[in-house]
Structure formats: C-alpha cells, structure tokens
Amino acid sequence: MKNNLVAFRKKRGLSQEHLAKQLGVSRQTIISIEKEKYSPSLPLAFELARLFETSIEELFIYEGKEEK
C-alpha cells in the first residue's frame, strides 16, 4: 500500500528509530512500511494518524484491486 509516511516523519524531524520507539514497534517495521513492503495493522495505522495529527487517508493511499 502506498503511503506518505516518510514525508510526515521527516516533517516532524523524526528518525525511523525514534518513530519506532514512540509506537512500540521495531525500526524494521517502520522501514518496511515506508518501502511499501508491509501494510500496518489497523490499530497501528490509527496510531500513526493520531501521532501525526492527520487522517489515515492522508498517510495511506488505498488503490484497491485491479479489475481483470
């Protein structure tokens, strides 16, 4: 899933490590989300949105499934 996490994180001046500690996840989890290799759980997505004072839709871009 595409996301704007890097932009939000850098705007706040947070390192991946600092963000991970604030959320109680590993730095690898943050890296995987930023590289779009991992979609966060719904609770984690809500926590990220709360932390950055934005909506989930501003952080994550759902493109849906392609029709065949």
What predicted TM-score, i.e. pTM, was given to this entire model? 0.87
Question: Which residue range is the domain that position 35 belongs to?
Answer: 2-59
- Residue written as tokens 């932009």? 7
CATH number at residue 49: 1.10.260.40
Question: Does 64 map to a domain?
Answer: no
Question: Does 68 map to a domain?
Answer: no
Question: Does 66 map to a domain?
Answer: no
Torsional sign, CA 68, 32, 54, 12? negative
- Over residues 7-64, the pLDDT tens digits come to 999 999 999 999 999 999 999 999 999 999 999 999 999 999 999 999 999 999 988 7
The number of folded domains in the chain is 1
Distance CA 37, CA 12 (A): 23
Question: Does 67 map to a domain?
Answer: no
